[in-house]
Amino acid sequence: MQNQSTSRRTFLRQSATVAATAAVVPYFLSSPKAFANQDKNDRPQIGCIGVGSMGTGDARAHAGFGDIVAVCDVDSKHADRAKNDEKIGKGKADAYEDYRKVLDRKDIDVVSVVTTDHWHVKIAIEALQAGKHVFCQKPLTLTIEENQLIRNACKKYPNQAFLVGTQQRSTRNLFLRAVNMVQKGLLGDIKTVTCGIGASPTGGPFPVEEVPENLNWDMWLGQAPKVDFRKKRSHYEFRWWYEYSGGKFTDWGAHHVDIATWAIGEDKEGQGPIEVDGTDAKHPVPFEKGYPTVDDRYNTSHDFAAKCKFASGVEMIVTSRGDNGVLFEGTKGRLFVNRGKITGKPIEENWDKDQFTDDDVIKMYKGKPAEGHKNNFYRCIREGGLTVSDVFSHVQMMNTCHLAAIASRLGRSIKWNPKSEQIVGDDEAATFLSRKQREGFEIPKV
């Protein structure tokens, strides 16, 4: 994540400039929410929920825009470290185990949610209900049902800014340039987009262990089924278990499928693939009817190439093979982009000369200037409007990520109605659209 910081004076000056020059109307207008103390010249008060490795980096970045007054983690070692970090809590922030204590505080304006994936939506919705602005790391959701729940919540609470941590949307000379070239038609009609997202690791068997004294394992599990503690199920390693995440389909898919979906214009509600073929997928453990038959090893796919067909005729391949990045192939040319480079004849010959302007970037930022990811978040808190990484476009591409995972788990092709958001003609596959939530950890429906 980018560690963007700015002084309050610079921030306010930049905000005033964009307010005078913004020319693009977002999907809907919203009004900025005053901070808890009603003095908009003051810095916002921030609560950080989840302060492990990624959460620590995000918290340090947030500290450039406001004052972190609370940190929270079900691992007390994480919470204590963040509380005493000179770039986060500075020894003054309150430390909690239960995130609800952060949301209950009326003085907190902003919450940063950097938990395991299966906790994101529950905390985010409850934060919106509590009147907070929300930054939440990707992937935002665990299931397609969660996509619908968080989208509904953001429609109900439009005055709270919400930014998803897909920071590639803030990389002007790489990903934004690629998206602009596709959207301007400079590559011709796009035929194929390949999203190289890497392979999940394999590993195990992992032994059952005693739960560390510093970890509230029951709270960590949340909505997921109660199981014995295995160290490789927790913290960073949760990504490789379908119980808590979607493996690479949602980990890196949330980045590259996002860029691909944005570029080809399939990021609005009612859009998306019409068929996803998951027959070319392998898993590191045996599966039966889409579920792993052993519980002591990583279970997300380590070798896959899911083919997603759109009504426009575009095929998107989401694969573990080849280079990490996004390859666009059109009738006039092709280009490849990742976090380190953008290449291809259209780049070498500068096809987008005079066609990638500040106005183009402002349009991509929904009327805001090009700036760092979190700069954009705090600007939207001040001014209103949608962030560059908004929930509505995010859940559209997450539908594709989840469908790729479902089709790959089942090892077959599934048909999807993007308008009704239902799997067509496959009752078994349709059961994967949601997950049973453990009693006491249900996600609010708003």
pLDDT in tens, 340-394: 999 999 999 999 999 999 999 999 999 999 999 999 999 999 999 999 999 999 9
33: pLDDT strictly greater than 80:
no
SS3 16: helix
Residue 41: band (very low, low, confident or very high) from pLDDT cuts 50, 70, 90: low
Angle at 68 between CA 107 and CA 165, to 5 degrees: 105
Residue 273 and residue 401 in contact, taking contact as beta carbons nearer than 8 Å: no
pLDDT at res. 14: 35
Same domain? For 287 and 399 the reply is yes
51: pLDDT strictly greater than 80:
yes
Same domain? For 53 and 115 the reply is yes
Same domain? For 149 and 232 the reply is no
- The CATH number of the domain holding residue 273 is 3.30.360.10
4: pLDDT strictly greater than 90:
no
Burial 354-376 (b: 16+ CB within 10 A, else e): eebeeebbbebbbbbbbbbbbbb
Residue 440 belongs to some domain of the structure: no
How far is Cα 165 from Cα 35, in angstroms, rounded to an integer? 22
Residue 221: Cβ-neighbour burial (10 angstroms; 0-12, 13-18, 19+): buried
Q: How many CB atoms lie within 10 A of CB 188?
A: 13
Residue 438 belongs to some domain of the structure: no
Both tokens of residue 19?
A: 């307010």
Query: Amino acid identity of 267?
Result: D
Domain count of the chain? 2
Residue 442 belongs to some domain of the structure: no
Sign of CA dihedral 188, 266, 257, 275: negative
Supply the pTM of this predicted model.
0.91
Over residues 408-425, the mean pLDDT reads: 98
19: pLDDT strictly greater than 70:
no
Write the pLDDT tens digit of every residue in 148-176.
Answer: 999 999 999 999 999 999 999 999 999 99
Same domain? For 107 and 230 the reply is no
DSSP letter for each residue of 255-294: HHHHHHHHHTT--STT-SEEEEE--SEE-SS-EETTEES-
Same domain? For 404 and 373 the reply is no
pLDDT at res. 39: 52
Both tokens of residue 377?
A: 């978040």
pLDDT at res. 35: 56
Same domain? For 303 and 209 the reply is yes
Same domain? For 134 and 230 the reply is no
Residue 347 and residue 335 in contact, taking contact as beta carbons nearer than 8 Å: yes
**pLDDT, greater one: 365 or 15:** 365
Q: How many CB atoms lie within 10 A of CB 50?
A: 29
How far is Cα 123 from Cα 110, in angstroms, rounded to an integer? 13
Same domain? For 181 and 116 the reply is no
pLDDT at res. 129: 98
How far is Cα 267 from Cα 234, in angstroms, rounded to an integer? 32
Write the pLDDT tens digit of every residue in 117-155.
Answer: 999 999 999 999 999 999 999 999 999 999 999 999 999
Residue 109 and residue 67 in contact, taking contact as beta carbons nearer than 8 Å: no
Residue 117 and residue 91 in contact, taking contact as beta carbons nearer than 8 Å: no
Same domain? For 211 and 345 the reply is yes
- The CATH number of the domain holding residue 28 is 3.40.50.720
Q: What Rg, from alpha-carbon coordinates, does the chain have? A: 21
76: pLDDT strictly greater than 90:
yes
How far is Cα 43 from Cα 5, in angstroms, rounded to an integer? 13
Residue 294 belongs to some domain of the structure: yes
Write the pLDDT tens digit of every residue in 261-315.
Answer: 999 999 999 999 999 999 999 999 999 999 999 999 999 999 999 999 999 999 9
pLDDT at res. 29: 34
Residue 107 belongs to some domain of the structure: yes
Same domain? For 296 and 158 the reply is no
pLDDT at res. 249: 98
Q: How many CB atoms lie within 10 A of CB 351?
A: 18
- The residue behind tokens 């997450």 is 398
Over residues 213-232, the mean pLDDT reads: 98
Query: What does each C-alpha distance from 6 to 76, 228, 435 come to in angstroms?
Result: 30, 45, 41
Residue 441 belongs to some domain of the structure: no
The closest of 337, 8, 357 to 179, measured between CA atoms, is: 337
pLDDT at res. 42: 73
Q: Which domain holds residue 409?
A: 171-356+393-427
Residue 72 and residue 48 in contact, taking contact as beta carbons nearer than 8 Å: yes
Residue 330 belongs to some domain of the structure: yes
Q: How many CB atoms lie within 10 A of CB 421?
A: 18
Same domain? For 143 and 200 the reply is no
Go through the chain and tell me how many residues it has. Answer: 446
Strands 133-136 and 162-164: parallel
Same domain? For 20 and 50 the reply is yes
Both tokens of residue 370?
A: 């090009």
88: pLDDT strictly greater than 60:
yes
Give me the chain's average pLDDT, please: 92
Residue 58 belongs to some domain of the structure: yes
321: pLDDT strictly greater than 80:
yes
